[in-house]
Amino acid sequence: MPILGQNQYGKAENRVVRVTRDGATHHIKDLNVSVSLSGDMDEVHYSGSNANVLPTDTTKNTVYAFAKEHGIESAEQFGIHLARHFVTSQEPIHRARVRVEEYAWERIENSGEGAHSFVRKGQETRLAQITYDGEKWEIVSGLKDLVVMNSTNSEFWGYVKDKYTTLPEAYDRILATEVSGRWRFNWTDDEQQMPDWETSYEQVKKHMLQAFAETYSLSLQQTLYAMGARIVDHRDEIDEIRFSLPNKHHFLVDLESFGLKNDNEVYFAADRPYGLIEATVLRDGCEARIPVDLSNL
């Protein structure tokens, strides 16, 4: 009979976001946690007996429950808690390996109340498209991969409900997106009047982030418009801006079955499917020229 070699099992890539509310100042920990267990698992492989198998679904639940019960002080501390728990509470489990990826976030300086707005660390990708027909220039700049989050000041309710609608209304949700934006300059030919491209980019990004942070949001659509309007209002050199904003859904994890109350603290960060909100914001009287599908630009 062939012999079973090394084996392990568990739930991989549990995306957990923990919000700690210190009054109006929020702190976030954003982890991707993979649990792998091994021990007396010959029988499940040879005969299919699950008598020694703690379900991978349970390992997932444990990750979310521990995020609530113990908080997430650090990736290491969180992993230590989990690994110890599996090995000491389950006789057949002799070894636990917990791998953690942590996504780092920085605060967005917010002139409004509270501190609940974050931008994910790491540079966005800056973009530029230059077109010249021998007479006139068209300059479209942009960015992608700029990930932002508000841990409060976002609601979504009052929407159309048909027989397929199950979404519960939300009065305090996380709003997160990965900004992809393109903006068109009104400069066309006068070399003496050329915008300072570097300053313009920094200012557009600043206004974009501040509008995201300061808008009390009733929908991502409303936040998108606020971001675009703020840029058009503050930057005379720009006539048009188009955004493509995936709604990076964060679902509150139901911890009731474990006797734990989830007071908007522990979220499952889903990667797909996602809402996709896209729109152009124009200076009054200007024409839309940025293509609808930004992937071509």
Ligand X SMILES: O=c1[nH]c(=O)c2[nH]c(=O)[nH]c2[nH]1
The binding site for ligand X (CB under 6 A) comprises 156, 167, 219-221, 247, 275
Which CA distances in Å does 190 have to 137, 195, 203?
Answer: 10, 10, 22
Catalytic residue among 56, 58, 206, 280: 56
> Nearest to ligand X by Cβ — which residue?
220
Q: How far is the CB of 168 from ligand X (least distance, A)?
A: 10
Which CA distances in Å does 128 have to 125, 156, 181, 212?
Answer: 10, 34, 11, 23
Contact at 8 Å (CB) between 83 and 89? no
**Closer to ligand X by Cβ: residue 79 or 246:** 246
Reply yes or no on whether 249 is catalytic. yes
Of residues 106, 110, 107, the one with CA closest to residue 215: 110
Q: How far is the CB of 236 from ligand X (least distance, A)?
A: 30
**Closer to ligand X by Cβ: residue 165 or 192:** 165
Reply yes or no on whether 62 is catalytic. no
**Closer to ligand X by Cβ: residue 53 or 279:** 279
Catalytic residue among 116, 207, 248, 249: 249
DSSP letter (8 states) at residue 150: E
Q: How far is the CB of 270 from ligand X (least distance, A)?
A: 12
Q: How far is the CB of 295 from ligand X (least distance, A)?
A: 21
**Closer to ligand X by Cβ: residue 219 or 244:** 219
Q: Give the long-range contacts of residues 284-289, CB within 8 A, separation 24 or more.
A: 286/186, 286/239, 286/240, 287/240, 288/240, 289/138, 289/184, 289/240
State the DSSP H helix or E strand holding residue 42, giving kind and residue range, or none if neither.
helix 42-46
Active site residues: 11, 56, 249
